[in-house]
Amino acid sequence: MKLRPIPDEVPLDNDPIARAATRERRVHRFLDAEVDARNAIYAALGANRPLLVQGEPGVGKTQLAEAVAKHYQFLLLTLTVDARTEARDLMYSFDAVRRLSEAQLIGSLYPTSDGEELRKRRENLEADRFVVPGKLWWAFDHHTARQQAAKSGTPELFDEAQWKDSAGTVLLIDEIDKAEPDVPNGLLEPFGARQFQPPCGLDLVKAGNKPCLIIITTNRERELPDPFLRRCAVLTLALPERKDDPGNAPLRKFLVQRGEAHFPDAKGVVYDNKSILEHAAEALIDDRRRAVEEGLSLLPGQAEYLDLVRATIASAPGDPMAQHQNFRKFAPFFLKKQLIR
Protein backbone atom coordinates (compact mmCIF):
# COMPACT_ATOMS: atom_id res chain seq x y z
CA MET A 1 0.00 0.00 0.00
CA LYS A 2 1.38 3.42 -0.98
CA LEU A 3 0.81 5.76 1.94
CA ARG A 4 -0.47 9.27 1.46
CA PRO A 5 1.79 11.86 3.13
CA ILE A 6 0.47 13.06 6.46
CA PRO A 7 0.05 16.86 6.68
CA ASP A 8 1.49 18.97 9.50
CA GLU A 9 -1.95 19.03 11.16
CA VAL A 10 -4.81 16.53 11.09
CA PRO A 11 -8.20 17.93 12.20
CA LEU A 12 -10.11 15.59 14.52
CA ASP A 13 -13.81 15.49 15.30
CA ASN A 14 -14.87 18.68 17.04
CA ASP A 15 -16.39 18.63 20.50
CA PRO A 16 -19.68 20.56 20.07
CA ILE A 17 -19.90 21.41 23.78
CA ALA A 18 -16.44 22.93 24.00
CA ARG A 19 -16.68 24.56 20.58
CA ALA A 20 -19.88 26.41 21.48
CA ALA A 21 -17.99 28.68 23.89
CA THR A 22 -14.36 28.49 22.79
CA ARG A 23 -14.59 27.79 19.05
CA GLU A 24 -12.02 25.07 19.67
CA ARG A 25 -10.62 22.96 16.87
CA ARG A 26 -9.61 19.44 17.82
CA VAL A 27 -6.41 19.00 15.88
CA HIS A 28 -3.23 16.97 16.13
CA ARG A 29 0.08 18.54 15.11
CA PHE A 30 2.67 16.04 13.91
CA LEU A 31 5.54 18.52 13.84
CA ASP A 32 7.08 18.24 17.28
CA ALA A 33 9.81 20.39 18.74
CA GLU A 34 12.45 17.66 18.45
CA VAL A 35 11.13 15.05 16.01
CA ASP A 36 8.72 14.71 13.08
CA ALA A 37 6.35 11.99 14.30
CA ARG A 38 5.18 11.31 10.75
CA ASN A 39 8.45 9.58 9.95
CA ALA A 40 7.90 7.19 12.83
CA ILE A 41 4.46 6.32 11.44
CA TYR A 42 5.88 5.65 7.98
CA ALA A 43 8.69 3.54 9.45
CA ALA A 44 6.40 1.39 11.61
CA LEU A 45 3.93 0.78 8.78
CA GLY A 46 6.72 -0.01 6.35
CA ALA A 47 8.41 -2.49 8.69
CA ASN A 48 5.15 -4.03 9.99
CA ARG A 49 6.29 -3.25 13.51
CA PRO A 50 4.37 -1.80 16.46
CA LEU A 51 5.16 1.81 17.27
CA LEU A 52 5.98 2.42 20.93
CA VAL A 53 5.34 6.08 21.78
CA GLN A 54 6.94 7.23 25.01
CA GLY A 55 6.88 10.53 26.84
CA GLU A 56 5.45 12.32 29.83
CA PRO A 57 1.65 12.40 30.30
CA GLY A 58 -0.30 14.91 28.25
CA VAL A 59 2.21 15.29 25.42
CA GLY A 60 -0.16 13.86 22.77
CA LYS A 61 0.70 10.15 22.63
CA THR A 62 -2.87 8.85 22.64
CA GLN A 63 -4.15 11.49 20.24
CA LEU A 64 -1.45 10.46 17.77
CA ALA A 65 -3.27 7.17 17.18
CA GLU A 66 -6.57 8.96 16.60
CA ALA A 67 -4.96 11.31 14.10
CA VAL A 68 -3.36 8.47 12.10
CA ALA A 69 -6.67 6.59 11.96
CA LYS A 70 -8.48 9.77 10.90
CA HIS A 71 -6.03 10.62 8.13
CA TYR A 72 -5.79 7.15 6.60
CA GLN A 73 -9.45 6.22 7.25
CA PHE A 74 -8.40 3.28 9.40
CA LEU A 75 -10.69 1.83 12.06
CA LEU A 76 -9.46 2.72 15.55
CA LEU A 77 -9.51 0.05 18.27
CA THR A 78 -8.49 1.07 21.78
CA LEU A 79 -7.42 -0.94 24.81
CA THR A 80 -6.37 0.81 28.03
CA VAL A 81 -4.03 -1.34 30.09
CA ASP A 82 -4.23 -1.62 33.87
CA ALA A 83 -2.65 -3.74 36.59
CA ARG A 84 -5.13 -6.59 35.96
CA THR A 85 -4.50 -6.83 32.21
CA GLU A 86 -3.00 -10.07 30.93
CA ALA A 87 -1.27 -10.53 27.58
CA ARG A 88 -3.89 -12.95 26.34
CA ASP A 89 -6.63 -10.34 26.96
CA LEU A 90 -5.40 -8.55 23.84
CA MET A 91 -5.72 -11.72 21.77
CA TYR A 92 -8.68 -13.58 23.29
CA SER A 93 -10.44 -14.42 26.54
CA PHE A 94 -12.10 -17.61 27.71
CA ASP A 95 -15.47 -17.17 29.42
CA ALA A 96 -15.25 -20.02 31.90
CA VAL A 97 -17.92 -18.49 34.14
CA ARG A 98 -20.53 -18.50 31.38
CA ARG A 99 -19.64 -22.05 30.42
CA LEU A 100 -20.09 -23.24 34.01
CA SER A 101 -23.39 -21.35 34.31
CA GLU A 102 -24.75 -22.91 31.13
CA ALA A 103 -23.67 -26.38 32.25
CA GLN A 104 -25.45 -25.94 35.58
CA LEU A 105 -28.55 -24.58 33.86
CA ILE A 106 -28.68 -27.49 31.42
CA GLY A 107 -28.20 -29.94 34.26
CA SER A 108 -31.11 -28.48 36.22
CA LEU A 109 -33.49 -28.13 33.26
CA TYR A 110 -32.65 -31.42 31.58
CA PRO A 111 -31.68 -33.88 34.36
CA THR A 112 -32.45 -36.81 32.10
CA SER A 113 -32.00 -36.75 28.34
CA ASP A 114 -31.91 -39.32 25.58
CA GLY A 115 -28.73 -39.90 23.59
CA GLU A 116 -29.43 -37.36 20.85
CA GLU A 117 -30.52 -34.68 23.28
CA LEU A 118 -27.44 -35.27 25.42
CA ARG A 119 -25.21 -34.99 22.37
CA LYS A 120 -26.71 -31.59 21.48
CA ARG A 121 -26.30 -30.34 25.04
CA ARG A 122 -22.65 -31.38 25.04
CA GLU A 123 -22.07 -29.61 21.72
CA ASN A 124 -23.42 -26.41 23.25
CA LEU A 125 -20.78 -26.71 25.94
CA GLU A 126 -17.82 -27.23 23.59
CA ALA A 127 -14.92 -25.10 24.84
CA ASP A 128 -14.42 -23.20 21.57
CA ARG A 129 -17.89 -21.63 21.95
CA PHE A 130 -16.60 -19.67 24.93
CA VAL A 131 -13.48 -18.18 23.34
CA VAL A 132 -14.05 -14.44 22.83
CA PRO A 133 -11.84 -12.63 20.26
CA GLY A 134 -9.75 -9.79 21.68
CA LYS A 135 -8.94 -6.51 19.96
CA LEU A 136 -5.63 -7.75 18.56
CA TRP A 137 -7.55 -10.61 16.90
CA TRP A 138 -9.99 -8.09 15.40
CA ALA A 139 -7.13 -5.90 14.19
CA PHE A 140 -5.26 -8.81 12.60
CA ASP A 141 -8.16 -10.66 10.97
CA HIS A 142 -11.69 -9.34 11.31
CA HIS A 143 -13.13 -12.20 9.20
CA THR A 144 -12.25 -14.94 11.68
CA ALA A 145 -12.91 -12.56 14.60
CA ARG A 146 -16.49 -12.05 13.36
CA GLN A 147 -16.95 -15.80 12.99
CA GLN A 148 -15.66 -16.42 16.51
CA ALA A 149 -17.78 -13.61 17.94
CA ALA A 150 -20.87 -15.19 16.38
CA LYS A 151 -19.90 -18.61 17.75
CA SER A 152 -19.33 -17.22 21.24
CA GLY A 153 -22.43 -15.01 21.18
CA THR A 154 -20.48 -11.80 21.77
CA PRO A 155 -20.91 -8.40 20.04
CA GLU A 156 -18.94 -7.36 16.98
CA LEU A 157 -16.64 -4.36 17.31
CA PHE A 158 -17.73 -2.96 13.94
CA ASP A 159 -20.20 -4.19 11.37
CA GLU A 160 -19.12 -5.80 8.11
CA ALA A 161 -19.67 -2.62 6.06
CA GLN A 162 -17.32 -0.65 8.30
CA TRP A 163 -14.61 -3.30 7.99
CA LYS A 164 -15.07 -3.43 4.23
CA ASP A 165 -14.91 0.36 3.80
CA SER A 166 -11.87 0.84 6.04
CA ALA A 167 -8.38 1.06 4.58
CA GLY A 168 -6.85 -0.69 7.59
CA THR A 169 -6.77 -0.60 11.38
CA VAL A 170 -4.99 1.22 14.18
CA LEU A 171 -4.85 -0.66 17.47
CA LEU A 172 -4.02 1.64 20.37
CA ILE A 173 -2.64 -0.14 23.44
CA ASP A 174 -2.63 2.67 25.97
CA GLU A 175 -0.31 2.89 28.99
CA ILE A 176 1.35 -0.52 28.74
CA ASP A 177 3.68 0.47 31.59
CA LYS A 178 0.72 0.01 33.96
CA ALA A 179 0.79 -3.75 33.30
CA GLU A 180 2.89 -6.41 34.99
CA PRO A 181 6.17 -7.33 33.19
CA ASP A 182 4.75 -10.60 31.86
CA VAL A 183 2.31 -8.67 29.65
CA PRO A 184 4.89 -7.27 27.19
CA ASN A 185 6.74 -10.59 27.33
CA GLY A 186 3.52 -12.38 26.39
CA LEU A 187 3.18 -10.23 23.28
CA LEU A 188 6.53 -11.14 21.72
CA GLU A 189 5.09 -13.70 19.29
CA PRO A 190 2.15 -11.68 17.96
CA PHE A 191 4.30 -8.57 17.62
CA GLY A 192 7.28 -10.39 16.14
CA ALA A 193 5.57 -12.94 13.86
CA ARG A 194 2.25 -11.04 13.53
CA GLN A 195 0.32 -14.16 14.44
CA PHE A 196 -0.85 -16.04 17.54
CA GLN A 197 -2.51 -19.33 18.45
CA PRO A 198 -5.91 -19.18 20.19
CA PRO A 199 -6.89 -22.13 22.42
CA CYS A 200 -9.37 -24.99 22.05
CA GLY A 201 -8.14 -26.17 18.66
CA LEU A 202 -8.98 -22.93 16.82
CA ASP A 203 -6.97 -21.98 13.76
CA LEU A 204 -3.88 -19.79 13.91
CA VAL A 205 -4.73 -16.07 13.68
CA LYS A 206 -2.52 -14.15 11.23
CA ALA A 207 -2.39 -10.50 10.24
CA GLY A 208 -4.26 -9.91 6.97
CA ASN A 209 -3.44 -7.94 3.85
CA LYS A 210 -4.77 -4.58 5.02
CA PRO A 211 -2.38 -2.36 7.03
CA CYS A 212 -2.55 -2.89 10.78
CA LEU A 213 -0.65 -0.31 12.82
CA ILE A 214 -0.23 -1.08 16.51
CA ILE A 215 0.51 2.02 18.58
CA ILE A 216 1.58 1.43 22.18
CA THR A 217 1.95 4.26 24.66
CA THR A 218 4.02 4.43 27.82
CA ASN A 219 4.59 7.12 30.42
CA ARG A 220 7.81 5.28 31.35
CA GLU A 221 6.62 4.52 34.87
CA ARG A 222 8.09 1.02 34.46
CA GLU A 223 10.92 -0.23 32.26
CA LEU A 224 9.90 -2.46 29.37
CA PRO A 225 11.82 -5.69 28.54
CA ASP A 226 14.54 -5.48 25.90
CA PRO A 227 13.04 -8.27 23.72
CA PHE A 228 9.80 -6.28 23.60
CA LEU A 229 11.62 -3.07 22.62
CA ARG A 230 13.46 -4.90 19.85
CA ARG A 231 10.14 -5.75 18.24
CA CYS A 232 9.00 -2.11 18.18
CA ALA A 233 9.83 1.11 16.45
CA VAL A 234 10.21 3.72 19.21
CA LEU A 235 9.09 7.36 19.10
CA THR A 236 9.89 9.72 21.98
CA LEU A 237 7.71 12.81 22.34
CA ALA A 238 9.04 15.52 24.63
CA LEU A 239 8.44 19.17 25.37
CA PRO A 240 11.37 21.41 24.39
CA GLU A 241 13.32 22.53 27.43
CA ARG A 242 16.02 25.20 27.80
CA LYS A 243 17.21 24.98 31.38
CA ASP A 244 19.70 27.81 30.80
CA ASP A 245 16.89 30.13 29.65
CA PRO A 246 14.65 31.38 32.51
CA GLY A 247 11.90 32.19 30.02
CA ASN A 248 12.29 28.83 28.23
CA ALA A 249 11.65 30.42 24.84
CA PRO A 250 11.44 27.10 22.90
CA LEU A 251 8.73 25.74 25.21
CA ARG A 252 6.85 29.04 25.15
CA LYS A 253 6.84 29.04 21.34
CA PHE A 254 5.80 25.38 21.25
CA LEU A 255 2.84 25.90 23.61
CA VAL A 256 1.60 29.04 21.87
CA GLN A 257 1.70 27.24 18.50
CA ARG A 258 -0.32 24.39 19.98
CA GLY A 259 -2.76 26.88 21.45
CA GLU A 260 -3.18 28.68 18.13
CA ALA A 261 -3.91 25.37 16.41
CA HIS A 262 -6.67 24.53 18.91
CA PHE A 263 -8.02 28.03 19.56
CA PRO A 264 -7.47 30.10 16.39
CA ASP A 265 -9.51 33.05 17.73
CA ALA A 266 -7.56 33.33 20.99
CA LYS A 267 -4.47 35.07 19.60
CA GLY A 268 -6.58 38.12 18.66
CA VAL A 269 -7.88 38.63 22.22
CA VAL A 270 -5.09 40.59 23.92
CA TYR A 271 -4.65 41.84 27.49
CA ASP A 272 -1.52 43.66 28.66
CA ASN A 273 -0.04 43.24 25.15
CA LYS A 274 -0.29 39.43 25.33
CA SER A 275 -2.91 36.89 24.34
CA ILE A 276 -4.26 34.36 26.80
CA LEU A 277 -2.13 31.78 24.97
CA GLU A 278 1.04 33.67 25.92
CA HIS A 279 -0.07 34.34 29.50
CA ALA A 280 -0.90 30.64 29.99
CA ALA A 281 2.41 29.51 28.47
CA GLU A 282 4.43 31.77 30.78
CA ALA A 283 2.48 30.59 33.84
CA LEU A 284 3.01 26.95 32.92
CA ILE A 285 6.74 27.44 32.38
CA ASP A 286 7.05 29.14 35.78
CA ASP A 287 5.15 26.40 37.62
CA ARG A 288 6.93 23.66 35.69
CA ARG A 289 10.30 25.09 36.76
CA ARG A 290 9.11 25.31 40.37
CA ALA A 291 7.91 21.70 40.31
CA VAL A 292 11.31 20.53 39.01
CA GLU A 293 13.10 22.49 41.74
CA GLU A 294 10.93 20.83 44.39
CA GLY A 295 11.54 17.36 42.95
CA LEU A 296 7.91 16.70 41.99
CA SER A 297 7.20 13.94 39.49
CA LEU A 298 3.98 15.36 38.01
CA LEU A 299 4.96 18.34 35.87
CA PRO A 300 2.35 20.54 34.16
CA GLY A 301 2.53 20.00 30.42
CA GLN A 302 0.68 20.42 27.15
CA ALA A 303 -2.58 18.87 28.38
CA GLU A 304 -2.75 21.20 31.40
CA TYR A 305 -1.92 24.17 29.18
CA LEU A 306 -4.81 23.44 26.82
CA ASP A 307 -7.20 22.78 29.72
CA LEU A 308 -6.32 26.14 31.28
CA VAL A 309 -6.79 28.00 27.99
CA ARG A 310 -10.06 26.21 27.32
CA ALA A 311 -11.49 27.01 30.75
CA THR A 312 -10.37 30.64 30.57
CA ILE A 313 -11.87 31.29 27.13
CA ALA A 314 -15.11 29.53 28.00
CA SER A 315 -15.51 31.67 31.13
CA ALA A 316 -15.57 35.00 29.23
CA PRO A 317 -15.50 34.65 25.40
CA GLY A 318 -14.13 37.77 23.72
CA ASP A 319 -13.54 39.68 26.98
CA PRO A 320 -9.76 39.87 27.54
CA MET A 321 -9.95 41.64 30.93
CA ALA A 322 -12.38 39.10 32.38
CA GLN A 323 -10.36 36.25 30.86
CA HIS A 324 -7.21 37.56 32.53
CA GLN A 325 -8.95 37.78 35.89
CA ASN A 326 -10.35 34.26 35.56
CA PHE A 327 -7.04 32.93 34.28
CA ARG A 328 -5.37 33.86 37.58
CA LYS A 329 -8.17 32.12 39.49
CA PHE A 330 -8.12 28.96 37.36
CA ALA A 331 -4.37 28.46 36.88
CA PRO A 332 -3.61 26.75 40.23
CA PHE A 333 -6.14 24.00 39.54
CA PHE A 334 -4.37 22.99 36.34
CA LEU A 335 -0.71 23.90 36.91
CA LYS A 336 -0.17 23.04 40.58
CA LYS A 337 -1.73 19.60 40.89
CA GLN A 338 0.90 18.40 43.35
CA LEU A 339 1.71 21.71 44.99
CA ILE A 340 -1.89 22.23 46.22
CA ARG A 341 -2.25 18.85 47.92
pLDDT digits (tens, 9 = 90+) for 246-293: 789 999 999 999 999 999 988 888 888 899 999 999 999 999 988 888
Instruction: State the total domains in the chain.
Output: 2
Tell me what pLDDT residue 341 has: 47
Question: Do both 209 and 256 map to the same domain?
Answer: no
Q: Express as a percent the part of the chain with pLDDT over 70.
A: 87
Q: How far is CA 198 from CA 5, 88, 91, 231, in A?
A: 36, 9, 8, 21
Clarify whether residues 254 and 221 are in a common domain. Answer: no
Q: Per-residue pLDDT averaged across 81-109, rounded?
A: 78
Q: What percent of the chain has pLDDT over 90?
A: 62
Residue 242 lies in a domain: no
Q: Which residues make Cβ contacts (< 8 Å) with residue 111, sequence separation at least 6? A: none
Q: What is the Cα–Cα distance from 6 to 29, expressed in whole angstroms?
A: 10
Look at residue 271 and tell me if it is in a domain. yes
Q: Are residues 192 and 266 in the same domain?
A: no
pLDDT higher than 60, residue 339? no
pLDDT at 187: 96
Q: What is the pTM of this model?
A: 0.88
* Residue after which a domain boundary falls, among 179, 204, 236: 236
Which structural domain range is residue 224 located in? 32-92+128-236
Sign of CA dihedral 318, 324, 325, 326: positive
pLDDT value at residue 326: 94
> Is 3 inside any structural domain?
no
Average pLDDT over residues 205-234: 94
**Same domain for 302 and 225:** no
Longest dimension (CA), the chain: 88
> Same structural domain for residues 228 and 302?
no
Which has the closest alpha carbon to 139: 212, 197, 79? Answer: 212
Predicted confidence band of residue 30 (pLDDT cuts 50, 70, 90): confident
Domain boundary among 210, 236, 262: 236
Q: Within a domain: residue 155?
A: yes
Q: How far apart are CA 36 and CA 34, in angstroms?
A: 7
Q: Which of 184, 214, 236 is where one domain is finished?
A: 236
- Is residue 132 domain-shared with residue 278, that is, in the same domain? no
Q: pLDDT tens across 181-211, in order?
A: 899 999 999 999 999 999 999 999 999 989 9
**pLDDT tens per residue across span 35-86:** 889 999 999 999 999 999 999 888 899 999 999 999 999 999 999 999 999 9
CB 279 within 8 A of CB 324: yes
Task: Say if residue 150 is in the same domain as residue 289.
Answer: no
H/E run at residue 234: strand 233-236
First to last CA, the chain: 52
Question: Which amino acid appears at position 187 of this protein?
Answer: L
Tell whether 232 and 266 lie within a shared domain.
Answer: no
Instruction: Please choose, from the candidates 312, 302, 305, the residue with its C-alpha nearest in 3D space to the C-alpha of residue 265.
Output: 312
Q: Are residues 296 and 171 in the same domain?
A: no
- Does 146 share its domain with 53? yes
Question: pLDDT tens for residues 304-325?
Answer: 999 999 999 999 988 888 998 9
Q: Are 211 and 167 in contact (CB under 8 A)?
A: yes
